[in-house]
Structures are given as C-alpha cells and as structure tokens.
Amino acid sequence: MKVAVIYYSRYGNTEKAAKAIMEGLKEAGHDVDLIEAKQQKDLGTGYEFVVVGSPTRAGKMSGPIKKFIKKNFSGDQWKDFPFAAFGSCLEDTIEKGSSCAANDINKALEERGLKPLADYYQNVVKGWKGPLPDDGEEKAREFGKQVGAKLSG
C-alpha cells in the first residue's frame, strides 16, 4: 500500500518519530514517502493511507500541519479515507490528561471525513526542545509496524 507520513518538526523530535514510523511501515511491507509539511505544501496523488504528526503547541497541532490539513484534505474524495495521527508532547501534559497535537490532528481529520485506522500515538518528549526518551524512536517504529499490520490485514 502507498503511504505518506506527513510531519512538521520544530526541534527534530517529531522528525525522528516520523522517520521511525516510516521504518515500521516499511517493515510491514508498505511503500512509504516522508513528507515535511513546511517544505512540501501539496500531498500529491496515489496515496492509500496517511500518517500525520506534529509537535504540540499550546495543546494543539503546529501551524504548518494545520495549514497542510486545510489545504490538502477537503472534499468528498476524503470521505472514509484511512489515517493515523501522532504527535510529540511533554510528559507532564500527558500525565495531566491535557490535549496534545495527536488528539488535535485526529479530530481535524475526522471532521474532514477521514477515518482513523488506529488510536493516535503520543510520543513523549522530556522538555520543550526534547529529547525523546531512550526508547522513543523504538516506540514510534512499533506504532508504524502496528499500523502497517492493520493496513495489511
């Protein structure tokens, strides 16, 4: 299946997670393109599944991802299109149950008619600029593998 992993990363943590998710999807047998939302404004065509990720900014997704979603995911062609969302979020924010980017992305895509294939994934960062925990990239890769297995099944 042709998959696009779309992300924006301010300090590199979300980029590391996106690359790890891409590797997990590839391990599950999928053809995957990595798209940095701020550099490539258009999604293009031919994708059968998208994964969208962002760092958390004030409990929401980042501006570049918000703009990418608004520009690329409108219209009836996206009804029931499968997706997965992920985001980087401070550990204490998750512990408090506060909103993070992954939840915001999930909601925005569902409002546009897309259908989540899996629960969103929140990748913990240790501080505003990171880093990811020692197992952060491995957990993101596992998320990619799990999503990839659902796509195959």
pLDDT at 128 over 90: no
CB 25 within 8 A of CB 5: yes
SS3 1: coil
What pLDDT is attached to residue 141? 98
The per-residue pLDDT for range 65-86, each reduced to its tens digit, is 999 999 999 989 999 999 999 9
Q: What is the pLDDT of residue 21?
A: 98
Q: How far apart are CA 21 and CA 147, in angstroms?
A: 9
Distance, CA of 98 to CA of 140 (rounded, Å): 21
Interval 140-149: pLDDT, tens: 999 999 999 9
Q: Where are the domains of the chain?
A: 2-152
Amino acid 92: pLDDT: 78
pLDDT beyond 90 at 98: no
Note the pTM of the prediction, 2 decimals: 0.96
Is residue 23 scored above 80 in pLDDT? yes
Read off the pLDDT of each residue in 55-72 and give the average, rounded to a whole number: 95
Residue 58, pLDDT score: 87
Cα–Cα distance between 6 and 134 in angstroms, integer? Answer: 23
The CA–CA distances, whole Å, from 35 to 38, 53, 95, 107 equal 9, 10, 30, 21
pLDDT of 16 higher than 80: yes
Report, at the CATH architecture level, how domain 2-152 is classified.
3-Layer(aba) Sandwich (3.40)
Distance CA 106, CA 102 (A): 6
